[in-house]
């Protein structure tokens, strides 16, 4: 009997001592935190609908976006059923469900997320959280935690405190720590005359937010930096150096978003440094196209390099991998499926690298063979291994998941008018 493509492919990797079964096993334990906001273009469920702000933007008007918790959870269910492995879901504060009651951001409570928790319990998944410090009248001038007005600062401080409390509730109920990531848009369009004062205020606001201590079995705090946004081209208060230093000094997680650096600057190259000095690191895996455009993650060189760096450092338990993209020009459930499948795929790709062998070549100064092998491995029969993994995880193989999406769009999404 002829070998299956998988058995045949496996032999190529085994020649270099790669254990494919071990790779499968390890991969199945790595959760990706899937961001809920791809499902509705960061609209959320607040009673008063507000326009997106904070220098981020979603473009496209593909029909059928989720309009409430039931629809968003159904869409996530669909996407997760097409992605191999068990993952997590990442919420934003604007996804509170208040049954028509107007609840401002500083007053949100765990009870407003009970439906999410019930759903997550049923699925056996963890939840992560983000305060929503944008798309709100109190963020209109692009300043929040660093605002000169103490009342505005206090409002956002209270919102962040409320968010950590909700995360603690997630941690408690779901038995897995909830990552709370603080990102604020604060910055200036044009050249500042004082860079220090806003940063000083942001630091003080963060200190106040974190003054309440939570056990790390419940809450993990992260801070996300940025280089620039629309309307904050000249100066962002929470820059990389700011948060890197803050995280270091205060034992918080530094969150690297792949779209938040100079166009040729990569987060893959930063991971090994951060891992040397921090127990944990958090990621927003995204795809910047010429700017921080948050395109759907594709199986590109940087995604593979990020995965390589996590796996080479044996750090899959120390890196919280989250996604952050939003595309409203294609089917949103497909967007989740494509981006998340690619991230899992990249991790598998990295797990199939004969890392020790390549490390040895480098140590020996054998750069010829290092380059030769890195290039040859690119055309190894990876697809057959990926297909086998999908099959074993009981999710569609190759592009067959598109049929599920087409059916879902026809029966469910297209009826949302």
C-beta closer to ligand RNT: residue 130 or 342? 130
Span between the terminal Cα atoms of the chain, in Å:
54
Catalytic residue among 40, 294, 327, 388: 294
Catalytic residue among 292, 327, 388, 404: 292
Judged by CB under 6 A, the residue of 128, 224, 388, 409 near ligand RNT is 224
Q: Of 12, 13, 71, nearest to 40 (Cα)? A: 71
- Residue 20 Cβ, how far from ligand RNT at the closest point, in Å? 35
Query: 194 among the known binding-site residues?
Result: no
Query: 262 among the known binding-site residues?
Result: no
Contact call for residues 218 and 178 (beta carbons, < 8 A): yes
Interaction of residue 349 with ligand RNT, rule CB under 6 A = no
C-beta closer to Zn ion: residue 42 or 79? 42
The Cα 376–Cα 125 span in angstroms is 38
The Cα 60–Cα 124 span in angstroms is 33
Q: How many CB atoms are closer than 10 A to CB 380?
A: 17
CA dihedral of residues 296, 329, 33, 144 (deg, nearest 10)? 100
Q: How many CB atoms are closer than 10 A to CB 169?
A: 21
The answer to whether 294 is a known catalytic residue is: yes
Tokens of 330: 């294609």
The answer to whether 156 is a known catalytic residue is: no
42 binding partner (options ligand RNT, Zn ion, none; Cβ < 5 to 8 Å by kind)? ligand RNT
Interaction of residue 37 with ligand RNT, rule CB under 6 A = yes
Query: 292 among the known binding-site residues?
Result: yes
Q: Of 402, 254, 374, 328, nearest to 62 (Cα)? A: 328
The Cα 225–Cα 292 span in angstroms is 12
C-beta closer to Zn ion: residue 117 or 227? 227
Residue span 298-337 as binding mask against ligand RNT, x where in contact by CB under 6 A, dash where not: --------------------------x-------------
Q: Which residues bind ligand RNT (CB under 6 A)?
A: 37, 42, 56, 130, 183, 224, 226, 257, 284, 292, 324
Q: Which residues are annotated as a binding site?
A: 260, 292, 294
Q: What residues are annotated to the active site?
A: 183, 224, 226, 257, 260, 284, 292, 294, 324
């Amino acid at each position: 009997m002829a070998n299956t493509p998988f058995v045949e492919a496996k032999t190529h990797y085994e020649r270099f001592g790669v254990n494919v079964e071990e790779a499968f096993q390890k991969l199945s334990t790595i959760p990706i935190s899937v961001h809920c906001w791809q499902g509705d273009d960061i609209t959320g469920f607040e009673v008063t609908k507000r326009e997106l702000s904070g220098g981020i933007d979603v473009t496209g008007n593909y029909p059928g976006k989720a309009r409430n918790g039931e629809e968003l959870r159904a869409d996530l269910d669909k996407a997760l059923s097409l992605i191999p492995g068990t993952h997590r879901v990442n919420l934003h504060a604007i996804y509170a469900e208040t049954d028509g009651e107007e609840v401002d951001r500083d007053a949100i409570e765990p009870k407003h997320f009970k439906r999410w928790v019930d759903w997550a319990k049923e699925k056996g998944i963890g939840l992560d959280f983000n305060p929503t410090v944008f798309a709100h009248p109190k963020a209109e001038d692009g300043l929040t935690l660093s605002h000169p007005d103490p009342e505005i600062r206090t409002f956002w401080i209270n919102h962040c405190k409320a968010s950590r409390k909700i995360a603690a509730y997630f941690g408690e109920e779901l038995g897995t720590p909830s990552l709370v990531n603080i990102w604020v848009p604060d910055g200036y369009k044009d050249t500042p005359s004082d860079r220090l004062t806003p940063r000083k205020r942001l630091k003080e606001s963060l200190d106040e937010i974190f003054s309440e201590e939570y056990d790390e079995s419940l809450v993990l705090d992260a801070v996300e930096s940025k280089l620039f946004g629309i309307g904050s081209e000249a100066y962002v208060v929470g820059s990389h150096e700011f948060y890197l230093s803050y995280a270091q000094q205060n034992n918080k997680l530094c969150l690297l978003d792949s779209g938040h650096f100079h166009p040729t600057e990569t987060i893959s190259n930063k991971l090994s440094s951060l891992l040397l000095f921090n127990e944990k690191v958090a990621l927003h895996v995204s795809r910047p196209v010429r700017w921080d455009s948050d395109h759907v993650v594709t199986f590109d060189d940087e995604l593979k390099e990020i995965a390589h760096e996590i796996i080479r450092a044996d750090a899959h338990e120390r890196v919280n991998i989250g996604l952050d993209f939003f595309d409203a020009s294609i089917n949103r459930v497909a967007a989740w499926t494509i981006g998340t499948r690619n991230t899992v795929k990249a991790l598998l790709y990295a797990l199939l690298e004969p890392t020790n062998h390549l490390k040895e070549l480098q140590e020996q100064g054998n750069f010829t063979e290092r380059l030769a092998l890195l290039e040859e491995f690119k055309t190894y029969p990876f697809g057959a291994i990926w297909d086998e993994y999908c099959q074993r995880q009981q999710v569609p193989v190759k592009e067959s998941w598109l049929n599920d999406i087409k059916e879902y769009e026809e029966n469910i999404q297209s009826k949302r008018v």
